């Protein structure tokens, strides 16, 4: 079966520099596992983003979750998880990529 490779980028810490709890991560893992054939995690990498309000670029360590989506019909569920993650991990926006096409989703 052909798999659709998708990515979601999540910072390793919250905006206050505090660790996300194991419950936070476990919930993300469970949600990803529910829509995907499987996933792994790369990193930490140094990610960068630009604040749209002042144009200042920030860098922070991030994890790259590589997710195997089994069907395009599950792609919507993946996007829903990304939107949930943006809110749950208190991010203004979150970067995803599906089949090589990047997108930044607002919370």
Partner 1 sequence: MRTYLTLGGQVLDLTNLAVEELAYLDECLTAYHSGESFEDFSRDRTFSARNPALAPHARVNAQNVDHPLLRAVFDLEARLGIRDGVFGLAPGHDASTDPMTDTALAVTAAANEKGVTRETVYNAIERGELVATAERPVKVSANSLRGWQPAASRQRAGRLSAASRGR
Where do contacts with partner 1 occur on this chain (CB under 8 A)? 12-14, 16-23, 25-26, 29-30, 32-34, 36-44, 61, 63, 68
Nearest to 33 by CA among 64, 89, 74: 74
Minimum CB distance to partner 1, residue 48 (Å)? 17
Q: Residue 66: in which H helix or E strand, if any?
A: strand 57-69
Nearer to partner 1, 45 or 103 (CB): 45
Q: Which residue, 26 or 99, has its beta carbon nearer to partner 1?
A: 26
The nearest distance, CB 82 to partner 1, in angstroms, is 17
- C-beta of 22 vs 53, nearer to partner 1: 22
Q: How far apart are CA 32 and CA 45, in angstroms?
A: 20
The SS3 assignment for 72 reads helix
């Amino acid at each position: 079966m052909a798999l659709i490779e998708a990515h979601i980028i999540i910072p390793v810490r919250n905006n206050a520099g505090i660790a996300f709890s194991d419950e936070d991560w476990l919930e993300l893992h469970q949600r990803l596992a529910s829509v995907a054939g499987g996933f792994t995690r790369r990193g930490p990498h140094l990610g960068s983003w630009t604040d749209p309000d002042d144009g200042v670029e920030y860098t922070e360590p991030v994890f790259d979750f590589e997710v195997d989506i089994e069907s395009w019909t599950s792609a919507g569920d993946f996007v829903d998880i990304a939107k949930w993650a943006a809110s749950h991990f208190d991010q203004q926006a979150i970067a995803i990529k599906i089949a090589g096409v990047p997108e930044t989703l607002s919370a």
